Amino acid sequence: MFSKILIANRGEIALRILRACRELGIRTVAVHSTADTDAMYVRLADEAVCIGPPASRDSYLNVAAILSAATITGADAIHPGYGFLSENADFAETVEAHGLTFIGPTAEHIRMMGDKITAKTTMMALGVPLVPGSDGALESLEQAREVAAKVGYPVLIKAAAGGGGRGMKVAPTEADLEEAWSVARTEARAAFGNDEVYLEKYLDKPRHIELQIMADTHGNVVHYGERDCSLQRRHQKLLEEAGSPALTAAQRDEIGAIATAALTKLGYRNAGTLEFLYQDGQFCFIEMNTRLQVEHPVTEMVCDVDLVREQIRIAAGEPLGYSQSDIKFSGHAIECRINAEDPQTFMPTPGTITVYHPPGGLGVRIDSALYAGYRVPPYYDSMIAKLIVRAPTRLEAIERMRRALDEFVIEGVKTVIPLHRKILEDPQFRKGDYTIHWLENFVARQQQG
Ligand code: ADP
């Protein structure tokens, strides 16, 4: 087992990883920018190293500074968290070249899944169902026309290097295809320096359902069930649930078996998430994330597992020590992302937290690095806390979440707590009857009303 881990991240996820290290008896090194000197995770770590000025490219994305910090502190592994360098194959390679362990998959698998076309062709060959569309990159507009005619309109042109919803354009009819094709390519070239695009049938009412996987280095692969992340605004998830209100246990077992078989054949290791669009009883793979996800706590709550602990144990070469049949799903969990944003306009609201009182009680978990007096810096993501609840049933979890949100006091910055309250009261949400378009429509109604 490792004796010291450097956490190449900030905020709540740095604290989350630190907690797992503590319980495993592993010492921690926090790295931080000059904007995060007073952060909670920096205070709690055994050692802390300043790696640069506020801008991410100079600090949290500064590979040389992070590796120097690891060397001078004598860390033997690096956990990248999510975002920043977590899906950077070159970083994973460089870490290993310096004789340190990268807590995550191999650079080869990160690279493979980072290219969405390679990811899709790989998954298809491994028997995972896909959204109907082009077999690979589109060579020409004529080819796009042919494929679109075959799968039927509306269609979506997507960037191979895509991420964050950029380089993605819908063509409702054939008349719109040429424009979608050129806009998607221009956006992709500007955002990713790569204008390769592919085509998918545009699904009109899918849910976003993702499967949490873990693989050790001894050939054992398990899944911990699904998360429903359909509640998104501008492709940013806001509220997640485990399990999905749309799935039965049999459907979960079925897609879980397909996914674990695929990743076993691939020789994948560590944590991964397969993202699917789910419509009319069909799963369609869209992409794989080769890292820990923001929303991992809902899975932890229903499976009673510490996913970060599992990542660390696996990176140290330990076997999982259990099999699929040992994983039991108990109750229902919901996560509300608490962003420092105006709940109407979604404009970020950095500033100083004057009063902070987190909720408590049975089945309530807070993953946050906030404290009274903390200054939310303007340079990074606006998510300042995750509130997670678990209860025996979905409706009880909703009531528990409403109760916890009522207790939650954050003063000094505006947050999206009022929006979460409204979502949880909505009859359609309470029935579990929603798709990936639901939240945008809900927000539009709120803004009008
Ligand atoms: P990115 O990596 O840019 O986030 P994804 O492929 O993960 O791109 O897609 C992001 C979101 O876009 C999905 O969660 C879904 O809401 C929507 N989307 C993607 N593909 C389709 C599709 N074929 N039909 C309908 N919506 C889609």
Domains defined for the chain, CATH in brackets: 4-103 (3.40.50.20), 132-201 (3.30.1490.20), 207-448 (3.30.470.20)
CA 286 to ligand 1 center in whole angstroms: 7
Number of H helices, E strands in the chain: 15, 20
Q: How many CB atoms lie within 10 A of CB 319?
A: 12
Residue 13, pLDDT score: 98
* Closest atom, ligand 1, to C-alpha of 200: 23
Say if CB 389 and CB 333 are below 8 A apart: yes
Coil, helix or strand for 117? helix
* Closest atom, ligand 1, to C-alpha of 167: 3
CA 354 to ligand 1 center in whole angstroms: 38
- The candidate with the shortest Cα–Cα distance to 441, out of 167, 246, 232, is 232
Which helix (H) or strand (E) is 172 found in, with range?
A: none
Say if CB 388 and CB 365 are below 8 A apart: yes
* Closest atom, ligand 1, to C-alpha of 156: 23
Residue 449, pLDDT score: 77
- Residue 409 above 80 pLDDT? yes
Is the shortest distance between the CB of 184 and ligand 1 below 6 Å?
Answer: no
Which helix (H) or strand (E) is 149 found in, with range?
A: helix 141-151
Residues linked to residue 222 through DSSP beta bridges, in sequence order: 214
Mean pLDDT of the chain: 97
Coil, helix or strand for 387? strand
Is the shortest distance between the CB of 286 and ligand 1 below 6 Å?
Answer: yes
- Residue 422 above 90 pLDDT? yes
Average pLDDT over residues 216-237: 96
Is the shortest distance between the CB of 87 and ligand 1 below 6 Å?
Answer: no
* Residue from 209, 286, 291 whose mutation best tests the ligand 1 pocket (most atoms within 8 A of CB): 286
Is the shortest distance between the CB of 437 and ligand 1 below 6 Å?
Answer: no
Residue with the nearest Cα to atom 21 of ligand 1? Answer: 202
pLDDT cut 90: percent of the chain above it: 97
Which helix (H) or strand (E) is 74 found in, with range?
A: none
Residue 29, pLDDT score: 99
Residues linked to residue 284 through DSSP beta bridges, in sequence order: 277
pLDDT tens-digit series, residues 238-251: 999 999 999 999 99
Q: Which of 291, 313, 365, 390 is catalytic?
A: 291
Residue 163, pLDDT score: 81
Is position 291 annotated as part of the catalytic site? yes
